[in-house]
Structure 1
Amino acid sequence: MKWQGKMFLWLAVFLLVMAIVYGLWSHETAGTTALFMAFGLSVMVGYYLAFTARRVDTGAQDRPDADIADDAGELGFFSPHSWQPLALAIGGALAFLGVIFGWWLMYFSAPIILVGIFGWVFEYYRGADQRY
């Protein structure tokens, strides 16, 4: 993670320089603001990765003598049969359609999104698949 943090912080320095140069030469506010926002996001991600790298063990990507197989293994638990992303996708699509056609569609999309989020968070707390 050390290298990823350094890369994002280097990217942040580059974006800051480009934002300043672009702002001085173009006098255009939207692009300058977007570049400064990209700088801020890059700093946040780089700081998080650098901060986390100090707290965890050295990964295989940080060792020059590491093999590709050193990073093999379990990555985590991923739900194999969850229907909740479909509910979130439908609710999100309705919400974006609400921006286009009228805000009244948000009344239909908000409950679908909330049910999808609630179901996804608590899907392993009840029923046959209960884990906790």
Structure 2
Amino acid sequence: MKIQGKIFLGLAVFLLATAIVYGAWSKEPVGTTGLFLAFGLTVMIGYYLAFTARRVDAGAQDNKEADVADDAGELGFFSPHSWQPLTLGLGAAFAFLGVAFGWWLVYVSAPILLVGLFGWVFEYYHGENRTQ
């Protein structure tokens, strides 16, 4: 994690310099504000990563002699047979299309979103997958 903190803090220095130069040359407040906000967010992330790196053990990314396989591990559990992400994705697509075509489409997509969301959250609480 140490290297990620250094990368973000280095990016913060670059964004600060860019914001100052951009603000002085362009006299445009919106872009300058955006660059200063990006600087602030990058500092927060870099500080968090550097602060956390001192409290956890060194990872494989901190060892220059480490292989890629040294950092491999279980990524999590992903349901191989679930159709719920498709339902949730379709509902979200219709909701975002509602911004372009009309807000009525957002109201039509809300039930699809809810079915996808509740189906995905509770898919292991019914049927053959139910734990007793």
Opposite residue 28 of structure 1, the aligned amino acid is E
Deviations 1:58-93 (A, max 9, x none): 110101222222113322222222222212211221
Cα drift, residue 43 of structure 1: 2.8
Alignment correspondent of 2:37:
37
Counterpart residue number, 1:10: 10
2:29 partner amino acid: T
Q: Deviation digits for residues 89-132 of structure 1, max 9, x if unmatched?
A: 11221121111111111112223223323333333344333469
Q: What code does the residue aligned with 2:122 have?
A: F
1:99 aligns with 2:99: yes
Q: Which consecutive unaligned segments of at least 5 residues does structure 2 have?
A: none
1:6-30, CA deviations, whole angstroms, 9 ceiling, x for partnerless residues?
2112112211221122122112233
- State the TM-score, normalized to the length of structure 2: 0.80
> How many percent identity over aligned positions?
74
- State the Cα deviation string for residues 19-47 of structure 1 (Å, max 9, x = none): 12212211223322332332233234323
Q: Are residues 95 and 48 of structure 1, via their aligned partners in 2, closer, same or farther at CA, if it must alter by over 3 Å?
A: farther
Q: What is the aligned partner in structure 2 of residue 110 from structure 1? A: 110
Letter in 2 for 1:3: I
Q: CA RMSD in A?
A: 2.4
Bigger radius of gyration: 2
Matched residue count: 132
For 1:56, give the aligned amino acid. V
Residue identity opposite 2:98 in structure 1: G
Partner secondary structure for residue 112 of structure 2 = helix
Q: TM-score, normalised by structure 1?
A: 0.80
C-alpha spacing 1:54/1:34, structure 2 compared with 1 (3 Å): same
